[in-house]
Structure 1
Amino acid sequence: MRAISTLVLSAAAIVATALPAAAQVDAAVALAPQGRLEARGAAVTVPVRVMCQKGATGSLWVQVTQNVRGELAIGDKYTPSVPCTGQYQRIDVTVVSRTKAFRQGVAFTSASLNVYLPPDQSNTVEEDREMMLVR
């Protein structure tokens, strides 16, 4: 019985590795090196360039975190739909702080682009970088 179980598991492993993985759809995300403070630091406008394959659907999540005098100013924004044209598109994402006001200076910024092309192609691309916040 043990030999049969081992044989079945081995066969299943071989079949699983032989099956092609779901194809990935073309996608890219790039954060600008500079963001603009809005409303006395209540928010930051983050320029993002996104590219996803024509015919796909994409969504974007951006987060900004900054150390402000020993406390964190944190905000994030989900954009449920981004243009997928096969070319880079600029999107300005306004991130509102959930904690305290952002200030001029360096902040850490993350972006995640999720793309889906029916029937079964998908991809997630991310970028993290330091961003200078200016007025």
Structure 2
Amino acid sequence: MSVPASAQVEAALAVQPQGRLEARGAAVTVPLRLMCQNGATGSLWVQVTQNVRGELAIGEKYTGNVPCTGAFHKVDVTVVSRTKAFRQGVAFTSASLNVYLPPDNSTTVEENREMVLVR
């Protein structure tokens, strides 16, 4: 069975509402649920930004290989701050899942949301 070139690659992404502070705020573990079509390859990019007393704590993490089985997977991504320590409270999280299905189908799904950081 051939698939038309315009067929959409199946993919889904959900950032969970609560992240966990690690190493006294040096990093945050961001829990995600994701799904990508069986046979595809997926990569994930996550960024966390938080206002800490008027200055921004920012970190991002790229993961080059996520499981693509057609089923949902729980994935924890640890994001290390590159500016100042994260703290308990609200942070803004952006996540992007890029999925490629050979020979020439690809899609990107994104989610942006507020997340509560806890110890």
Work out whether the TM-score is over 0.5: yes
Match of 2:62, SS state, is strand
Q: 1:53 aligns with which of 17, 37, 50?
A: 37
Q: Hey, what's the Cα distance between the residues in 1 that align with 2:80 and 2:111? A: 20
- Bigger radius of gyration: 1
> Which residue number corresponds to residue 12 of structure 1?
none
Q: Which residue of 2 aligns with 1:40?
A: 24
Show structure 2 runs of 5+ residues with no match: none
Contact 2:5 2:105 in 1 (8 A): no
Q: Which moved more, 1:31-40 or 1:21-30?
A: 21-30
* RMSD value, Cα: 1.0
How far off its partner does 1:23 sit? 2.3
**8 A contact 1:23–1:122 mirrored in 2:** no
Aligned to 1:86, what secondary structure does the other structure show?
Answer: coil
* 2:81 pairs with 1:88: no
Alignment of 1:45-124 (within 5 A): 45-124=29-108
- Say which SS state the counterpart of residue 54 (structure 1) adopts: coil
Distance, in Å, in 1 between the alignment partners of 2:60 and 2:80 is: 7
TM-score normalised by structure 2 residue count: 0.95
- Over residues 32-76 of structure 1, what are the superposed CA-to-partner deviations in whole Å (9 max), with x where a residue is unaligned? 000000000000000011100000000000000000000000000
| AA in 2 matched with 1:96 | V
Q: Given that residues 5 and 104 in structure 2 are in contact (C-alpha distance below 8 angstroms), is that contact kept between their aligned partners in structure 1? A: no
2:110 aligns to what?
A: 126
Provide the identity percentage. 83
After superposing on structure 2, the runs of 4+ consecutive aligned residues of structure 1 that deviate more than 3 Å are none
Gaps of 5+ in 1: 1-19
Using the size of structure 1 for normalisation, the TM-score is 0.84
